[in-house]
Amino acid sequence: MRKITLILTILMIASVILSACGGGGENLLDVIKERGYLVVSTDPNYEPQSFLDPAATRAEGTVCPEDMLTYGVMKGFDVDVAKAVADGLGVEVCFATPEWDVITAGNWADRWDISIGSMTITKTRQGALDFAHPYYYTPAQFGAASDSGYSSLDDLEGETVCVATATTYLDWFNGELTIPDESILSQPPSNVTLVELPTDQECAQAIAAGRPEFSVYLTSDTVINSNIAGGLDVVKLGPVVFIEELAPAIDKNSSYDTTAFTEAVSNVIEGLHANGTLSSLSMQWFEVDLTKDPR
């Protein structure tokens, strides 16, 4: 009886260890290849990184489940990177669009396989997520309505700033941004009132709608460039405040063994760097190569 009890105890401990290490069941890479598609979570309102094309139709002959979006319906830099990763794995890409705070929290319950959605690697997120090799780097930048009257970051003291929920921009304001010190180039203005919206683009869209409580937002430099190109009457305010290292993320609490999958994605990303694909996509969507580490 004691031997049986000891064996059961050992099995229970092993189960807990496997769970803590992110699964321990089937190999996720094998599962993805067998079913023929990779499920990527990304943002449907984050142009030019990722956005919905309302004029597009669902891809013909797709193996993507009906409740997921296909390539073409989703467009943007992240979308093209996701397709290139799926191509490298030999499968089709499909898209899920959960809220950003749900993605960054981990515990995805296997509803999607990976996030390729411009996620910054932080120590905090590494508690819940594993990261593959980075695929690009972006500067964090303030944008302001052209008629706001602000000319420097000092002007923002005591003012209201819009940020997206569960982002590195919010963490920077709150002193909780866990990226390398050399990547943080400036400290936040004091006594700022933060207004949170679900995505960065909703901050810009609130400015475009003329909502008086919105005139300044913090986001990626690439988003502000896209806003200006799209006709939004905003300007960049102040210097770059930090540099973000962006990479695909995988849930540590997947019920599958994600080790081989994470390694395979990293290998694909490294190949896309080496053959110039990522540089070309960056030039296409941003008109600048953001795939080289600037630090």
* Beta carbons of 78 and 47 less than 8 angstroms apart: no
* 7 belongs to a structural domain: no
**Which helix or strand (DSSP H or E) is residue 130 part of?**
strand 129-131
Residue 21: both structure tokens together: 């290490």
User: What CATH number did the domain enclosing 208 receive?
Assistant: 3.40.190.10
- Phi/psi for 241 (5° steps) reads -100, -25
Q: Specify whether 113 is located in the same domain as 256.
A: yes
Mean pLDDT across 64-69: 97
Q: Would residue 86 count as lying in a domain? A: yes
Tell me whether residue 211 is in a domain: yes
**Residues 122-175: pLDDT tens digits?**
999 999 999 999 999 999 999 999 999 999 999 999 999 999 999 999 999 999
Predicted pLDDT at 260:
98
Asked whether the beta carbons of 270 and 134 are under 8 A apart, the reply is: no
In a domain, 151, yes or no: yes
Do 29 and 101 fall into the same domain? yes
Q: Are 144 and 267 contained in the same domain?
A: no
Give the structural domain span for 197: 138-245
- Is residue 241 domain-shared with residue 145, that is, in the same domain? yes
Please tell me the total count of domains within the chain.
2
Residue 192 lies in a domain: yes
pLDDT in tens, 166-216: 999 999 999 999 998 989 999 999 899 999 999 989 999 999 998 888 899
The residue behind tokens 């944008």 is 143
The pLDDT assigned to 24 comes to 55
Note whether 173 and 200 are same-domain residues.
Answer: yes
Is there a domain that residue 11 lies in? no
Q: Say if residue 22 is exposed, middle or buried (CB neighbours under 10 Å; 0-12, 13-18, 19+).
A: buried
pLDDT of residue 20: 44
Distance of alpha carbon 276 from alpha carbon 136, whole angstroms: 12
